[in-house]
Every structure is written in C-alpha cells, then in structure tokens.
Amino acid sequence: MKLYDLIKDKLKDPQGVISDNEMCVLNRRDFLYSETSTSSAFLKMFGAERVTYEMYSIVDFVHASVCKIRPPNKVRVFQLSQSMTLPSLAVSALVGDQASQIQVHAPRGIQGVDAKDPFAKMLVQRFETQLNSNLTMADIGNGDVNTIDILFCNASNEAEVSSGLKSFEKVKRGFILIKGYGRNKAPNCGEIILSARLNVHCTLAGFGFTSAI
C-alpha cells in the first residue's frame, strides 16, 4: 500500500506527491512515472514497471550519469550483485554505441530479465555479449584516461558493499551506486569511507552513490 493512501485525508491539497510503500514526499515534481520518462520506458520494456521507486530513481540516475558519454570513452560495468541487473542493462541500453566499448563483469551472475518484445530482446542479447568480457574485479581502476568504471552493489550484503567501496578507491573516472544504502540497518562502511576520504551521498529514494569526476 502506498503511504500516501494512509495519510491523504489529513493533508491539505498537496501539489505533488511521490509515494510508495516506504516513502512519501509531498510538494515535489515527479519525473519518473510520466509517459516521457526514459526510466519508465526502459522498465516497461522488461516488464518491470512494478519495481520500487528506488529502482526507477536508480535507472534515472544512471541515465543522467551516462547521457554525455561519447567516443573515445569506454565504459566498464562491475555488477557485484545479481539484483543490480536492471541498472547494468540500463547502462548498456542508454550508452549504446555512444561509447567506444562497453564491458560488463558480474561475478555473481545476473538475474533473468523478461524482455517484452523483440527490440528489448535485442538489447538483452547485446548486453549478454558485453558480459562475455575478460574483465575481473582486479581491473577496477586500472583503465586508461578514457575508461569510465561503474560499480553497482546492494547494501543487503555488507561484504559486497565493503569490497565495492574498497575497489572504488582506485577508480579515476566513474561512480559506485549502492542500492538500499539508506535502509535502516544497512551497512554504512564508515571506516572504509573515511579512510578513503569518500562521501557516499544517500538519496531520499534510498540508494547511495559517490563519484570520481
């Protein structure tokens, strides 16, 4: 149930509401559920319209981060958690041929995605070829000046977040995105963050990120 449904009778005509079953924000413009939202179009292609607001927001953040990528830049995605398949696929679909190369490394594998039509299937097939790369975790941060490293992990696994942040220390260009970082009891890896002089910004939607720009 959306939180907003529980409280709407007590509110005086809020002008914009963003709500799911965990959060409710009033008087804000929502750019993610509209017909012109690219995140929404992407998730619909894979039958994933019912994901949390956080995932809509993650896909949108990914799009915002990669929309200016052009050759000779190369993109390398390190997907540490299976549950981050949609964001990895979003990088592949939204960067497309605007990068000289896209490689994906998912040490724990990927989740199955439900491509709803032949165009979506084509995007998945291309993503799968990008997965067949020789990348390893040891490659994080070792690329040349044109290399952009993107790390995706999920806060439900503390070891994953720690290793992700630790690896991100070496990254010269790119970002790390941690799903569920703002969730109560999620690991914040304070020591790693402090020792690496990082700051993980936690968004209201729930995910955290830090960038190397």
Partner 1 sequence: MKQNELMKLAADADDALKNNLLDKALEISEVISRYNRSAGLAYKGVVALRKEDFDLAEELLLESFQLNAKQHLALANLIPTYIKKRDFKKAVAFGEQAHAAMPKNQSVCINFAAALLQEQSYSKALEILKPHLDLEKPNVSVLSGLISCYRSLFMKTEADEMLVIAEKHFGDKHEIIRLKADTLAERSPVAALESFKAALEKDPKNIATRWNMSLVQLRLGEFGEGWVNYDNGLLPEVGKIGRPLPKLFEGAKCITDMDTIDPEKWTYAVCEQGIGDQVLFLGVLRQFLNDYPKTVLIAEKRFRPILQRSFPELPVHPYGSGPFLSANSEVVNGYVPIGSFQKKYRSSKEDFIKNRQIYLNPDQAKLAKFREILLKKTGADRIVGFSWKGGYWERAQKTKTLDIELWDPIFKDQSTIFVSLQYGEVSKEKEYLASKYKNIRWIDGLDFKKDLDGWFALMCACDEIISVSTALVHFAGAAGRSVHLLLSDRGAPFIWGLEGDTSIAYPDIKIHRKQVSQSNDEFFEGVAQKALTKVRAA
Which residues of the chain form contacts with partner 1 (CB under 8 A)?
34-42, 44-45, 63, 67, 93-98, 116-120, 122, 126
Contacts of 30 (CB under 8 A, 6+ apart): 16, 17, 18
Q: Given its phi and psi angles, is residue 156 left (phi above 0), alpha (psi -120 to 50 degrees) or beta?
A: alpha
Q: How far is the CB of 29 from partner 1 (least distance, A)?
A: 16
Q: Please say which residue, 42 or 152, places its beta carbon nearer to partner 1.
A: 42
Nearer to partner 1, 28 or 116 (CB): 116
Q: Residue 175 — φ and ψ, nearest 5°? A: -155, 160
Least distance from partner 1 to the Cβ atom of residue 152, Å: 19
Nearer to partner 1 by C-beta: 26 or 64? 64
CB 77 → partner 1: shortest distance, Å?
15
Sheet holding 174-179, edge to edge: 101-105, 74-79, 147-154, 174-179, 208-212, 201-202
At closest approach, how far in Å is the CB of 160 from partner 1?
29
Q: From CA 64, how far away is CA 74, in angstroms rounded?
A: 17
Q: Are 177 and 209 in contact (CB under 8 A)?
A: yes
Measured from the CB atom, the residue of 72 and 96 that comes closer to partner 1 is 96
